[in-house]
Amino acid sequence: MRKQKIVILGAGYGGLMTATRLQKTVGVNEAEIVLVNKNEYHYETTWLHEASAGTLHHDRVRYDIKTVIDQNKVDFIKDTAVEVKTDEKKVILENGEIDYDYLVVALGGESETFGIKGLKEYAFSIVNVNSARQIREHIEYQFATYSSEAEKKDERLTIVVGGAGFTGIEFLGELGNRIPELCREYDVDFKKVKVICVEAAPMVLPGFDPELVEYAVAHLEKKGVEFRIGTAIKECTTEGIIVGKGEEELEEIKAGTVIWAAGVRGNSLIEKSGIEAMRGRVKVQPDLRVPGHDNIFIIGDCSLIINEEINRPYPPTAQIAMQQGETCARNLVSLIRNKTELETFKPDIKGTVCSLGEDDAIGEAFGKKMVGSKASFMKKMVDNRALYMIGGPSLVLKKGKFNIF
Ligand code: FAD
Ligand code: NAD
């Protein structure tokens, strides 16, 4: 009998979790497993704010995919998926094509700019290793240029962060540590540097515990961050941004660096492939399959699942992507073994911890609130746990965060 072919697109949290769980369960004669990813490496998306600020080298946030897959069981293809031809059960890659019996789409998120003028052209987003490296180098370039130019342009040293969601706040936390270093390195007066966070909602970290938010804001303000809440970015230009408060007059903020951390969406390949989605996110069935496509699973940031308690979608997180990977792998094993009953995915939210730089954080975990070094310790444990779940103790030893005291 012909072996069934499982193709996994994306080697992020969801895709690697699926592949590593399948390789443990599926016999070589049971199914062919193929993993496709655009790079030879996996990167920890949840650490990209550190690489972007320059507090952690980008090589620390990535590792070779081949070190965590069993190559006797999983074929790795380094390529970029361009489109899924669902009728033909085929994926078009940049350098070829690949057919499948079962497909897992785990391609992660993309930045969503909601059509705001100039953002795509002039703002940076924290989305992958390349963008993180570019942000770090751009900020350094601004400091280096400021030091050497005869007529100083102070706005070079203004960094605007759009969005005070978790990404924006974690990045600001890293900048709080990095800017004093940059000032020393490039002989720049700290007082000349401005870091402005612009948030459209009336509060920082909308929806999060107000006491923890207050702690985070006080910590970041102490490090020099200026918050402009209830203020939306309306446009980005070569000079900076235009913001507005409600219907009031628009205001220009000149800035040498604009980071857009105010929107994520699913991968645009989804729409290109004719799969019904909302901003690249597909409302999947409880077993994680796509309605009308019984052989396609979508997990991670490309999937949308509803929290029935509040009737709103769960936020896209690594925590959920990894749990979905486990369920998806079990459901695939059932399908290739001709079992019809599939498992329902139920997220098990253990909490949320938001770092505020190297040694501070806020969080709620296991029903408890925490701040400071305790929360920071917890955040590093969460980061190490993700490594452990995918690559076991050897990956933790190689890539883990041990600067915990
Ligand atoms: P990813 O892990 O992003 O992986 C997608 C993979 O697909 C990547 O390897 C990519 O290279 C590959 N790929 C993309 N397009 C293609 C293509 N066309 N062809 C081939 N390969 C492709 N969540 C938490 O739970 N906790 C946190 O602390 C946390 N911190 C975060 C910090 C930051 C700065 C950011 C940006 C996000 C954070 N998140 C956090 C959210 C979390 O990172 C995402 O929800 C998670 O990465 C989604 O996992 P995924 O498997 O869907 O995609
Ligand atoms: P987000 O969508 O959660 O937050 C974006 C923020 O930008 C919101 O506060 C929104 O009000 C604001 N905004 C939107 N339009 C704006 C505009 N025009 N001008 C100014 N502000 C605007 O996005 P995110 O922070 O990138 O998070 C993405 C996902 O990743 C979430 O699910 C989040 O939970 C997850 N994440 C988790 C962690 C963590 O657990 N530590 C860290 C980072 C990201």
Position with higher pLDDT, 72 vs 367:
72
Q: What is the pLDDT of residue 367?
A: 87
Predicted model pTM: 0.97
Pick the CATH number of 4-38+79-109+266-349 from 3.30.360.10, 3.30.930.10, 3.50.50.100, 3.40.50.1000: 3.50.50.100
Backbone dihedral region of 22: left (phi > 0), alpha (psi from -120 to 50 degrees) or beta?
alpha
CATH 3.50.50.100 residue ranges of the chain are 4-38+79-109+266-349, 114-262+350-405
| Residue 174 Cβ < 6 Å to ligand 1 | no
State the Cα torsion 346-261-267-98 to the nearest 10°.
-100
The Å distance, Cα 344 to ligand 2 centre, comes to 28
Q: What is the pLDDT of residue 1?
A: 66
| Residue 45 Cβ < 6 Å to ligand 1 | yes
Q: Of the ligands numbered here, which is closest to the C-alpha atom of 167?
A: 2
What is the spatial distance between Cα 41 and Cα 37, in angstroms, rounded to a whole number? 8
Residues counted in the chain: 405
Q: How confident is the model over 20-50, as pLDDT tens digits?
A: 999 999 999 999 999 999 999 999 999 999 9
Q: Which two tokens stand for residue 309?
A: 């308690």
DSSP-assigned beta bridge partners for residue 158:
194
Residue tagged active-site, from 32, 44, 170, 174: 170
pLDDT at 377 > cutoff 90:
yes
Second-level CATH architecture of 114-262+350-405: 3-Layer(bba) Sandwich (3.50)
Q: Of the ligands numbered here, which is closest to the C-alpha atom of 321?
A: 1
| Residue 36 Cβ < 6 Å to ligand 2 | no
Q: Is 170 a catalytic residue?
A: yes
| Residue 54 Cβ < 6 Å to ligand 1 | no
Q: How confident is the model over 150-193, as pLDDT tens digits?
A: 999 999 999 999 999 999 999 999 999 999 999 999 999 999 99
